[in-house]
A and B are shown apart, each in its own frame.
Chain A
Amino acid sequence: MSAIATFAGRARRHGSFRIGALLLLLFAGTALLSLFWTPHGAETVAMRLRLQPASATHWLGTDHLGRDVLSRIMVGAQTSIAVGLLAVTLGMGVGVALGAWAAARRGWVDEALSRSSDLIFAFPAVLIAILIASVLGASATNAVLAIAIFNVPVFARVTRGAALAMWGRDFVRAATAMGQGPLRITLRHILPNVASVLIVQATIQFAVAILAEAGLSYLGLGAQPPIPSWGRMLRDAQTYIFQSPELAIWPGLAIALAVLGLNMLGDGLRDLLDPRLRLMRVG
């Protein structure tokens, strides 16, 4: 309990963590609220109200189909969170398993994993996501898959590196000497000790996934209409940039704030969870 209290105390004093957590709360809170309430129907079309400027009824105005922009941004947060979270969870699940396996087995498993990671890193990520989404069809599910694939080598590398360092530690050697198998050691000793590194990485990858989802849906390869997504809203806004320039402001601002929040939270967590890094950064 005291460890949690110490962490909370330090977290409260950490500027980057505080701003990041606040922005993340705003982001998640908006998505959650939109499940129950939005000012107007996010998919309600009203052609006679198209391209209206901000007003008391429509706080952020309306789009080219007369839909309420604020409501669409609120529901768009759900899409971003769902795609980002699923992609990172999927990529993390597979990547951590592979990385931990490579660190435990070494030899050819390790070599094969490193080479496959190099291969995936050699591809421009956006292009492979485009390739996958265009072959499998444009949908939020396929966007999740395309983004998840790039998270696998990231998590595999991070886990492998951190786990390899753990395998050399005395308490792990002691567990080996006591006859514990590699799976048991990985689950009971290695993974809990590399968890903080993984949490930091997951936060940063979540930010990357939100950017990737926005990019894919801007290209029309993410969630399909009428489901609101921030990237798609920007695409539509661009067509009407001369009539309603402000339409292009809000969805982009939403993406930037969400990503900024997660990046700052990630930086803060890295400082708070890894004292060695904190010393290095201060120095």
Chain B
Amino acid sequence: MKADKKMLKSWVRQQNSANRSATMTMALVGMCNVLTGMVLVWSLASILAELLASGQGVALRWLVLFVLASILRVILGYAQEQLAVSSGEKARKRLRRELLARFFAQGPALLRHQHSAALASLLTDRIEALEGYFARWLPASALWVVAQWSVVLVVFWQNHRAGFILGGCCLFLPVFQAVFGIATAVASRRQLLALNRLQVRFLDRIRGIATIVLSGNAEKDAQNLGRAADELRQRTMKVLRMAFLTSASTDIAMIVALVWIVIDQRHSLLHGGSIPQTTSILFAVLMVPEAFAPFRALSAAYQDRAQITNSGEAIQKLPLLPELTVKESAPRLVPDRTDKGIDLDVRNISYQWVEDRPLALDDVSFHLKAGDIALLTGPSGAGKSTLIEMLLGFIRPREGHILLGGADLQALQPADMTRQISWIGQKPVIFAGTLRENIMFAAPAASEKQLQEALEASAIVDYLALLPDGLETKLGEGGYGLSGGQAQRIAIARAFLKDAPLLIMDEPTAHLDPATEQDILVSLRRLLKGRTALISTHSSQFHNIGETVHLAIEKGRVMEQEIL
């Protein structure tokens, strides 16, 4: 727990320093704005003092200065806003690219540890939520102390007594914060947690609302939800009663400073003061809001700060997997491919997903000659998927070697390795895009003729006419919905187009009905010609596919190996 917090803190520090130059630029512009504010208030005070003293005309130069300072302030405010927008955007882009690099370095094994939707939301929503942190909180927190105390110092320089009062009230601020703040911070953090939990619960209920409604329990559940919300409101208000004292303390400090300075200065002005005297008093009074403005900006951005902890925690939760990179300098190996397929030799491999769990693969060895077809069977949890992910290069064996066409899989450059392997899983991912794009992405350079061949071999042609726009039909999120069999044919077409010598299949017909399975098998048989294949399956239909090697795996070990 403590180590986690430490890691989180150092991660946040890292983010802050990566953003330092932008933060400093914004703080600098903010400081200029504060200084301009001083000039502005000074000119205003001078105008008013002359007016009060003489009742006659006012020197034009003060008025000009006032207008100029006003315009400068508008420009600086505009610049601040633009800077905040661009800095927030830059920081989000940087973080997103860092995460992307990490995702790809760890590879598809990540999907074993976390749901893809959670990973995707990390890439999108979690990062988007950080805009305020970089755009508002960081500059405000860098600026506020310096800005506040430079105002106090300038006021002190002009008017010692007023400066003392203002400084005292400003000093009071942290004291107030400490007294009310710490007490409420603990309680409100707990409250925030409770509120968060209620929101999560509401979201969860809404997501599962069909299940509740169709079980006829909707009204009862609604009442429970309402009760929980009401309880939370009562507890929240209890905390807020204290928490608002903290914000009230800012009001108190400011108003006390204002009233005190006005009342205190009456002695020095008794029977009419000189112009410089009046100016200094007016200046001090008018500067009071300016002294508290930076602190207010900080308080306003306070909730943005919570976001960095949320996102940071989510990122910390990512598993730390070994990165799958091969040294660039390593000699380039080229696996040996023949017309019949490729030779696959698995030697004594072992693997463990989690330290204290049993081995997922325990000293597994087998050998497939070019053109061999192996059926991998075994109960779920036996290690079939682990073996497949290892052959696909998503994970690396703890011990042992895999030789593909005579080359060690681990020493191959990723591109050289994937060139040799095709894969068909249980359900292919259909990307947002047209049918053509979804097939062609397996081999972007393929010709129209090759595409036609793949369409025929995979029997996509059989349903092509049914699609609204043929090959240009939009698929994926919000697009045309394909049936399981139709989607699996896309995976087969991809494999045809890619034309790799080793074909790995992970229960390719698990989600299909028997009739569709039969149809798919016809296409698969065509695909298997001239390739080495390893097929994990429960279905007995695959026994008819031709001469196969049977690998039965149980508890991470290959139990039998026979030729059928």
Q: Do A and B bind each other?
A: no
Q: Which residues of A contact B (CB under 8 A)?
A: none
Q: Which residues of B contact A (CB under 8 A)?
A: none
